[in-house]
């Protein structure tokens, strides 16, 4: 009988062959090694001895354990561990290393809906982008980076890994390459992003790329030292926030992505479109932006409703039309939220099977 650690190695080879990202494989290894170490403390070395009780006991222990930062593990972390266990034992069952699958009754914990991250307002994102000088090479590069990020709600990793061949300025489309076995995503870019990408490629990148080998040269965004890095982006965000006088804390590259999603919803975009743009597999993740939208609608209502104001103004037909539109938006968002709630419950039930 193969040892637990040997079976883990075989499983890691299996998921690598399926095209899982290296980071996913490393995370899976970490969770499963923690589980195996727990079993070894109980002198369980034979995979056939593992029952549903051992699995549930491990998950319960994980849920109640303090981290090194004196906090409990988040439900997301616990659920990741559950998913890793389910994947591992499903593999063992299908490969006939075990004949009874102990994870069949193992369920995910229901997660609380996350709050949306801090975002830029429309005026703030405009000030931020306009603060980037266009009369320098670095300025053109940075303007192209941040215009593209805001245009297409890109993740930091997607910006860093974008290659020149992945962008089609004529059609205003970029391709986000996915891991093996997953579909590539095609994302539109707006005219402003196209403008600054053109300027960057023609006036800056065409000079910088000559310094590097083909591997480095293939990436879209280059500095005089090579590919742009996380630290480069972080420093630039702090620089331009200070330059335009925005004092909000915790604004980051991801805040720009969140801002795009929120601004699209506020402008009436379908949540399905936003889900597709962001690359979310579940509406569970996208739903956080509808809460932001509802808060925005409440603020508008508070400003315009006569009973919310200190002084009463005569109600005009124009005002009534505005209220009707606002009411329609609120009802639409309520319907969307109800649909999302149902989808989330269905998703949780399905994942728990």
pLDDT in tens, 63-113: 776 555 445 677 778 888 888 999 999 999 898 888 888 888 787 765 544
Lowest mean pLDDT among 68-72, 174-178, 193-197: 68-72
> Which DSSP letter does residue 73 get?
P
Average pLDDT of the residues of the chain: 80
CA pair distance 199, 268, nearest whole angstrom: 31
Say how many CA atoms lie within 13 Å of 307 toward its Cβ: 1
**Residue pair 222/163 in contact by the 8 Å Cβ criterion:** no
Q: Quote the pLDDT of residue 232.
A: 95
Q: Locate the domains of the chain by residue range.
A: 4-94, 122-266, 280-352
Q: Is 294 exposed, middle or buried (0-12, 13-18, 19+ CB in 10 A)?
A: middle
The lowest-confidence range among 193-202, 206-215, 309-318 is: 309-318
| Lookup: tokens for 265 | 């919803």
pLDDT-derived band at 343, boundaries 50, 70, 90? low
Which contiguous run of DSSP H or E holds residue 106? Answer: none
4-94 folds as DNA polymerase; domain 1 (1.10.150)
pLDDT-derived band of residue 299, with 50, 70 and 90 as boundaries? low
Please give the Cα distance from 144 to 189 (Å, whole number): 11
C-alpha triplet 343, 262, 320: angle, nearest 5°:
95
Of 147-151, 217-221, 279-283, minimum mean pLDDT range: 279-283
Which pLDDT value is given to residue 237? Answer: 95
Helix residue spans in 249-316 (DSSP H)? 253-266, 271-278, 283-286, 288-304
Q: With CA atoms as reference, report the closest residue to 167 among 196, 207, 194.
A: 194
Per-residue pLDDT of 220-273, as tens digits, reads 999 988 999 999 999 999 999 999 999 887 899 989 988 888 888 777 777 777
pLDDT value for 311: 45
Place 177 in a pLDDT band, splitting at 50, 70 and 90: confident
User: At 163, is the pLDDT very low, low, confident or very high (cuts 50, 70, 90)?
Assistant: very high
**330 vs 324: CA distance, rounded Å:** 10
At residue 36, the pLDDT reads 92
Identify the weakest region by mean pLDDT among 7-16, 63-72, 139-148: 63-72
Active-site residue list: 155, 180, 254, 257, 280, 289
Q: What are phi and psi of 142, to 5 degrees?
A: -65, -40
Q: How far apart are CA 314 and CA 199, in angstroms?
A: 52
Continuous segment of H or E residues that includes residue 186? strand 185-188
Q: Minimum mean pLDDT among 62-76, 142-156, 194-208, 239-253: which range?
A: 62-76
What CATH class is the domain 122-266? mainly alpha
Question: Is it the case that residue 18 has pLDDT exceeding 60?
Answer: yes
């Amino acid at each position: 009988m193969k040892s637990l650690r040997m079976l883990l190695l075989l499983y890691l080879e299996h998921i690598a062959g399926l095209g899982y990202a290296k980071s996913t494989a490393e995370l899976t290894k970490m969770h499963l090694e923690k589980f195996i170490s727990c079993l070894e403390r109980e002198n369980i070395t034979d995979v056939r001895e593992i029952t549903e009780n051992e699995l549930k006991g491990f998950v319960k222990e994980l849920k109640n354990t303090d981290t090194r930062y004196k906090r409990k593990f988040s439900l997301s972390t616990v659920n990741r561990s559950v998913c890793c266990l389910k994947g591992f034992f499903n593999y063992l069952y299908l490969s006939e290393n075990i004949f009874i699958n102990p994870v069949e009754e193992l369920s995910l914990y229901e997660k609380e809906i996350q709050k949306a991250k801090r975002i830029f307002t429309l005026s703030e994102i405009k000030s931020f982008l306009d603060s980037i000088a266009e009369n320098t090479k670095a300025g053109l590069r940075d303007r192209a980076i941040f215009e593209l990020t805001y245009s297409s709600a890109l993740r930091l990793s997607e910006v860093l890994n974008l290659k020149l061949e992945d962008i089609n300025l004529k059609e205003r489309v970029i391709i986000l390459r996915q891991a093996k076995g997953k579909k590539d995503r095609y994302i539109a870019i707006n005219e402003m992003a196209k403008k600054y990408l053109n300027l960057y490629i023609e006036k800056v990148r065409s000079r910088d790329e000559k310094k590097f080998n083909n591997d480095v040269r293939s990436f879209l965004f280059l500095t005089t030292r090579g590919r742009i890095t996380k630290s480069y982006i972080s420093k630039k965000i702090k620089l331009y926030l200070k330059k335009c006088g925005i004092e909000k804390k915790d604004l980051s590259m991801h805040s720009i992505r969140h801002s795009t999603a929120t601004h699209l919803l506020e402008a009436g975009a379908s949540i399905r479109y936003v889900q597709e743009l962001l690359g979310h597999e579940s509406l569970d993740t996208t739903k956080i932006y509808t809460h932001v939208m509802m808060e925005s609608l409440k603020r508008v209502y508070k400003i315009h409703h006569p009973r919310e104001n200190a002084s009463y103004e005569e109600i005009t037909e124009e005002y009534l039309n505005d209220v009707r539109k606002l009411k329609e938006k609120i009802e639409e968002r309520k319907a969307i939220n109800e649909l999302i709630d149902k989808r989330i419950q269905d998703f949780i039930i399905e994942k728990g099977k």
